[in-house]
């Protein structure tokens, strides 16, 4: 297994840019296959900040994210990859606990490869 940099989708009230460094809370994961190869994404939201209210403050797990938001993420990932000529397959979502376990496994694998 080759460990690559993780892709994190951040649900945020304000726009950011690709590569922006944010402090986030992992909510779960979107399970995907790109051209038959596992290519999961993490879903996160900004960490709570005292005195700043965000629409995501109540989210603790991926099940707290509105279904229409998750459907929009699924549609975006599949269509975006399709435009690039890739076949994307949506395999559902996973909980915060499972997403954190995936991160732990990938860290261990990365250390072995280093």
* CATH number of the domain where residue 77 is located: 3.90.80.10
Q: Once rounded to an integer, what is the mean pLDDT over residues 42-59?
A: 96
Which residue range(s) make up the domain with 108?
Answer: 7-113
Evaluate whether residue 52 is within a structural domain: yes
Provide the whole-model pTM: 0.88
Evaluate whether residue 89 is within a structural domain: yes
1 pLDDT higher than 50: no
**pLDDT at position 23, please?**
95
**pLDDT at position 12, please?**
95
Evaluate whether residue 73 is within a structural domain: yes
**pLDDT at position 60, please?**
97
The length of the chain in residues reads 114
Average confidence score pLDDT of the chain: 91
**pLDDT at position 2, please?**
45
Rg value, the chain, Cα: 15
Instruction: Tally the domains of the chain.
Output: 1
Return d(Cα 65, Cα 43) in angstroms, integer: 10
Q: Once rounded to an integer, what is the mean pLDDT over residues 11-29?
A: 93
**pLDDT at position 81, please?**
87
Which conformational region is residue 66 in: left (phi greater than 0), alpha (psi within -120 to 50 degrees), or beta?
beta
**pLDDT at position 70, please?**
96
Evaluate whether residue 2 is within a structural domain: no
Q: How would you classify the pairing of strands 24-34 and 7-10?
A: unpaired
Evaluate whether residue 49 is within a structural domain: yes
Return d(Cα 32, Cα 92) in angstroms, integer: 8
Any idea what DSSP says for residue 53? Answer: -
Q: Kindly provide the b/e burial profile for residues 5-37, where b requires at least 16 CB atoms within 10 angstroms of the residue's own CB.
A: eeeebbbbeeeeeeeeeeebebbbbbbbebeee
Evaluate whether residue 1 is within a structural domain: no
56 pLDDT higher than 70: yes
């Amino acid at each position: 297994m080759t460990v690559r940099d993780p892709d994190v989708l951040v649900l945020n009230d304000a726009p950011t840019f690709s590569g922006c460094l944010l402090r986030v809370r992992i909510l779960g994961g979107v399970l995907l296959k790109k051209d038959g190869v596992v290519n999961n994404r993490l879903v996160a939201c900004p960490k709570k900040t005292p005195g700043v209210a965000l629409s995501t403050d109540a989210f603790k797990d991926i099940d707290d994210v509105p279904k229409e938001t998750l459907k929009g993420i699924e549609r975006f990932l599949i269509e975006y990859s399709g435009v690039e000529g890739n076949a994307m397959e949506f395999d559902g979502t996973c909980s915060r606990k499972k997403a954190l376990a995936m991160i732990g496994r990938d860290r261990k694998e990365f250390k072995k490869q280093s």
